[in-house]
Amino acid sequence: MNEQPSGRHIPLDEMILKKGVVKTPFNASLQNVVANPWRENRLIEYLWMAIILEREGPGNGLRKILSVFHYIKTKKIALHYPTISNILNMDSEDEKNFFEYICKEKLDYAFLPFVVVAYDNRERHTMYDIFLEMFLGTFLERFMSLDVLLKKFENIIVEYLDARGDKATYLRFCALSLDLSMGDIVLQKGRDDILVDQFVAISEGNSFKLNPMIASTVRAMELSIWGFHNENPMFTKDFDDFTSKYVYCDIKMINQGSEKTMEPFEQVFKELSINLKKTIAENHSLMISSRKFQVMTASLEYGLRIFKEVNVVGFDSVVAVESMRSILETFINNKFLLDGESEREDIWLSYQKYGGSALRKLAAESDKYSSGTEVLPKEYDSRLIHLLSTEIEDELVGDIDLRYFENTNIRKKFQKVDLESLYHTYYEYGTQFTHGYWSAVRLATTDFCDQPLHQSHSNTELNEQVPLKSAFDDYAYILSLWSDMFFGEFPVSTSGEVK
């Protein structure tokens, strides 16, 4: 994609929990900081400085930008942060003086390309009036075709697209330089000299490369200053609107690829289903006398049914990821019951009653809505729901439990059976898909626009959906854990006979 990943995620143990939100150390130490993604807002707002750096080089370019800021300071122009939006929204006299200085210093080339955006949006905002008055004539004199101009924008944006790269970090320092020159940023003692020395050295040389410690300081400062100023990037919105009309998307797809499966579906399914059938046949009396046997055999059959149906759809499908959560939760519930039976002899019956109460709630809702104008889902079998809701307990004496089973949520169940790692990996991943969170939507629609002149965005191509990574090995792993648990309770002899 356009913006390159940093290659490092902040470890959870380095983050700080505050009011239900796990905050980064940076956010935990600051308040009310709102910083938009680099390409989405900030890069475009700094583009005039990037144009100067590209033409003049890092050393001379920095000197010219600092001279502009020196002029702003000495003339007491009311510009608190050097974004294009802020420049265009200055007091009319300040704005004229600013652009007159820009033209006098022959830096008008840094702003002329934006005439096309301003002209296209001139009827939407008054902020372009003075800008067009001062630059439209010159732009027409130095006419540049729209294709060439857009390519110029694209080339510069590509150079500064990596927010953590040398060029972008250098540009971010340029944005900070106004606050530094105004004295609005006061660094810790000892940090001032090293920061200034670093950029003095750069201004004398011709490199965008920064000392790593300085680079990280610059990025953190720029991010926080933008957030504290609570910038309103009006120009960026107009820029993106303009490019969306005149530049086509460059759609690409992330091919997640399929990995070799551990073993074929038939082998896993056949072995489990045959052993389950043998166990049921040899222990048929337990189907009547043992709540535990009823729950564990029916649950494993349910898991195998999901496994079989997913095989038809494909283990590289969204259905496979979402269904993994169902299999895992059913397995964990069984393990939770197994671990809890030493403390509660009736835990298996209690579990069945809990399921019956859920069905009675569905039945009650069914009766409520079927008598009105609402249309029940076609998959909703009211008769079967009513029938099974009283299978374990009569509705006259069966309360409806609205809490978690055993008043214990699913995460605590994972913890109780010493499998919390499965919760944080398999279960939480599948939960994104079950609830339809944006994280899942984005993972499942891996086509995106790679056009630098557009904000990075997804794109829908229904006929070319790229498969997800195969979840087969994950199913096989969870089912192996389930198999060990089940046949640990009801072993099958090597001869096929139940012990």
Question: What pLDDT is attached to residue 327?
Answer: 95
Alpha helices per DSSP H over 283-422: 286-289, 291-313, 318-340, 347-370, 382-389, 410-416, 420-422
Q: Which two tokens stand for residue 199?
A: 């950029």
DSSP-derived secondary structure for 70-139: HHHHHTT---SS--HHHHHTS-HHHHHHHHHHHHHTT-GGGTGGGHHHHHHTTTT-GGGHHHHHHHHHHH
Please determine, for residue 499, whether its predicted confidence score (pLDDT) is greater than 50. Answer: no
Question: What pLDDT is attached to residue 226?
Answer: 80
Phi then psi for residue 251, to 5 deg, are -80, 130
- Per-residue pLDDT band for 3 (boundaries 50, 70, 90) equals very low
Q: Do residues 492 and 279 touch, judged by C-beta distance below 8 A?
A: yes
Strand blocks (E) in 244-303: 251-253
Please determine, for residue 186, whether its predicted confidence score (pLDDT) is greater than 70. Answer: no
Choice between 32 and 115, residue whose per-residue pLDDT is larger: 115
The amino acid at residue 360 is R
CA distance linking residue 260 with residue 270, whole number of Å: 20
- Per-residue pLDDT band for 4 (boundaries 50, 70, 90) equals very low
Closest alpha carbon to 106 in 68, 143, 146:
68
* Region label for 32, one of left (φ > 0), alpha (ψ between -120 and 50) or beta (otherwise): left
CA distance linking residue 36 with residue 38, whole number of Å: 6
CA distance linking residue 499 with residue 134, whole number of Å: 93
Q: List b or e across 379-390, with b for residues whose CB sees 16 or more CB atoms inside 10 angstroms.
A: eeeeeebbebbe
Q: Mean pLDDT: which of 39-43, 61-65, 104-108, 351-355 is highest?
A: 104-108
Q: Which two tokens stand for residue 368?
A: 């409520």
DSSP-derived secondary structure for 124-177: T-GGGHHHHHHHHHHHHHT---HHHHHHHHHHHHHHT--TTSHHHHHHHHHHHH
**Cross-strand pairs, 59:** none
- Per-residue pLDDT band for 1 (boundaries 50, 70, 90) equals very low
Q: What is the mean pLDDT of residues 357-365?
A: 79
